[in-house]
Amino acid sequence: MAIQGFLVVSLLFSCLAATSYGLTFSSLQESLIVTASPKHGQVLSAGEDNIVVTWSFNKSLAAGTDSSYKTVKFKLCYAPVSQQDRAWRKTEDHLNKDKTCQHNIVTKPYSSSNNTFTWTVERDVPTATYFIRAYAYNSADHEVAYGQTTDAHKTTNLFNVQAISGRHVSLDIASICFSAFSVVSLFGFFFLEKRKAKMSQAK
């Protein structure tokens, strides 16, 4: 009982701690410029097509702003149209509750200019509309800045991904065969039952 009580209290504390610490998205500075190769409305196939991402520090901001940036993490984020009626993709200001960006692309060490990489859209990316966001982390692994391929209202430069369906011909055939087998067995049951009844009547 005492241990249960202790567990409950420590869980409550950790939850409180997490929420009270949490960084918010609105506190981050948009200091990175990120561009991606897909045009607005382009459809990419998961597992096949590539995205070329170019990123750099926004030179118009004061020099020294980026002194704390150590690594940059790129994520694939859902556009508002793909978040509608899907609470599991909701945007929240608290970064540790935010579910907008659920697919990691790559993590790169920070450098202020001439950065580019190519990424093949992975096979487990679902069908939806996306944009790309980069978070800059400091040495304590906390977000300090960000940059994204779309504007603040998330209306421009959105591209689509068409996912793999996961279906295979062999699966289709197996499903249909087993289903047919079940139905045929059912008729077999009825036939057997009628025969048993007739036999017992004849006795």
Partner 1 sequence: MWPSRLHKKLYVTPQSTISPFKLIAQAAECGQADCTRSQSVLRIWKSLKLANIQRLSNMEVSYGAPPESVQKKFALPVDSEHKATEFRLFSVAAPHMRAFHLSWVSFFACFVSTFAAPPLLPIIRDDLDLTATDIGNAGIAAVSGAAFARVAMGTACDLFGPRLASSALTLITAPAVYCTAIANSPASFILVRFFTGFSLATFVSTQFWMSSLFSSKVVGTANGVAGGWGNLGGGATQLIMPLVFDLIHNIGATKFTAWRIAFFIPALFQTLSAYGIFFLGQDLPDGNYSQLHKSGDKHKDNFSQVFYHAITNYRGWILALTYGYCFGVELTIDNIIAQYFYDRFNVNLHTAGIIAASFGLANLFSRPAGGILSDIMAKRYGMRGRLWTLWIVQTLGGIFCIFLGKVGSLGVSIAVMIIFSVFVQAACGLTFGIVPFVSRRSLGIVSGMTGGGGNVGAVLTQVIFFRGSRYSTETGITLMGIMIICCSLVIMSIYFPQWGGMFCGPSSKVTTEEDYYMSEWNSAEKERGIHMASMKFSENSRSERGRRVESAPTPINGTPSTYV
Smallest separation (angstroms) from partner 1 to the CB of 80: 14
Q: Of 12 and 52, which CB lies nearer to partner 1 in the complex structure?
A: 12
- Sign of torsion over alpha carbons 20, 18, 108, 130: negative
Smallest separation (angstroms) from partner 1 to the CB of 91: 14
Q: Of 107 and 175, which CB lies nearer to partner 1 in the complex structure?
A: 175
Residues near partner 1 (CB under 8 A) are: 7-8, 11-12, 15, 84-88, 123-124, 126-128, 163-168, 171-172, 174-176, 178-183, 185-186, 189-190, 193-194, 196-197, 200-201
- Token code pair at residue 168: 């295979």
Of the candidates 105, 180, 200, the residue with the CA atom closest to the CA atom of residue 149: 105
Residue whose tokens read 């200019």: 113
How many Cα neighbours within 13 Å face the side chain of 60?
4
Q: Of 152 and 178, which CB lies nearer to partner 1 in the complex structure?
A: 178
Smallest separation (angstroms) from partner 1 to the CB of 93: 16
Smallest separation (angstroms) from partner 1 to the CB of 11: 4
Q: Of 67 and 165, which CB lies nearer to partner 1 in the complex structure?
A: 165
Q: Of 39 and 168, which CB lies nearer to partner 1 in the complex structure?
A: 168
CA distance 166 to 9: 44
Of the candidates 156, 150, 141, the residue with the CA atom closest to the CA atom of residue 33: 150
Angle, vertex CA 11, rays to CA 8 and CA 12, nearest 5: 85
Q: Give Cα 197 to chain centroid, integer Å.
A: 59
Smallest separation (angstroms) from partner 1 to the CB of 101: 14
